[in-house]
Amino acid sequence: MAIGTHLPTDGHRLILGDVEDQPNCTIFRDVSKTDFTFDTPSNDSYQFGIGGTSYFAIGTTGIGYPTGTGEAKTQTGSKTATVTTNYPCGVITMNNASLAAGAEATFQVTNSSVAATDTIVASIASGDTAGQHIVSVTAVAAGSFKLTLTNLTASTATTAAVVINYAVIKAVNDA
């Protein structure tokens, strides 16, 4: 049941409703008549999306990308080999080659969802001894970003297939 509707002359539409009665309630329609939806799954979280696809979720467990918007990729060849994924979040399992003491391995992630103004968040999920490596984002460009893995120890890290979580945070530069 809609409790409020707004239809300004610019073609945007806003509907406020009882989302329990309308689990796929449209809350916004842009000028091209693309619907942005507001979904309420059974776990009391809210998902936002376009055309039936959810791209962002807010719920009791936090905020971020919902299930289905990420991808798992494995780096092949070497620790500096390019990884291609076009998802806004996911996990990258790096190649398990050794990394010398104090050495760095930089690799590119080709990703069509990345704009030059976006912020990339990356963290080590597993695959090494705690504190042995650190991952950092060393470049962001339209269509790609670079990650650098650094061995923080005084010895060679052997056969470490480091697993990295990443997420793209959309941003703009209005300067």
pLDDT in tens, 96-115: 999 999 999 999 999 999 99
> Which of 49-63, 69-83, 100-114, 118-132 is least confident?
49-63
Range 161-170 average pLDDT = 94
* Structural domain that includes position 113: 70-169
Residue 157 and residue 155: Cα distance in Å, rounded?
Answer: 6
Residue 14 and residue 152: Cα distance in Å, rounded?
Answer: 52
In a shared domain, residues 59 and 122: no
Helix (H, G, I), strand (E, B) or coil at 99: strand
Here the tokens at position 100 are 């010398």
Range 57-61 average pLDDT = 63
Helix (H, G, I), strand (E, B) or coil at 52: coil
Tell me, yes or no, whether 174 lies in a domain. Answer: no
Digit-coded pLDDT (tens) for 8-28: 444 444 444 444 444 445 455
> Which of 55-69, 95-109, 140-154 is least confident?
55-69
In a shared domain, residues 53 and 83: no
Q: Is 112 within 8 Å of 144 (Cβ atoms)?
A: no
Residue 164 pLDDT more than 80? Answer: yes
Residue 64 pLDDT more than 50? Answer: yes
Name the domain boundary from 41, 64, 87.
Answer: 64
Helix, strand, coil percentages, rounded to 5, for the chain: 0, 50, 50
Residue 31 pLDDT more than 80? Answer: no
* pLDDT above 70 coverage of the chain, percent: 64
Q: What is the pLDDT of residue 87?
A: 92
In a shared domain, residues 84 and 55: no
Here the tokens at position 167 are 């997420």
Collect all residues with Cβ–Cβ distance below 8 Å to 84 and sequence separation of at least 6. 73, 109, 110, 111
Q: What is the pLDDT of residue 130?
A: 82
Number of domains in the chain: 2
Q: What is the pLDDT of residue 125?
A: 94
Mean pLDDT across the chain: 77
Q: What is the pLDDT of residue 62?
A: 67
Q: What is the pLDDT of residue 146?
A: 98
Range 135-164 average pLDDT = 92
In a shared domain, residues 56 and 83: no
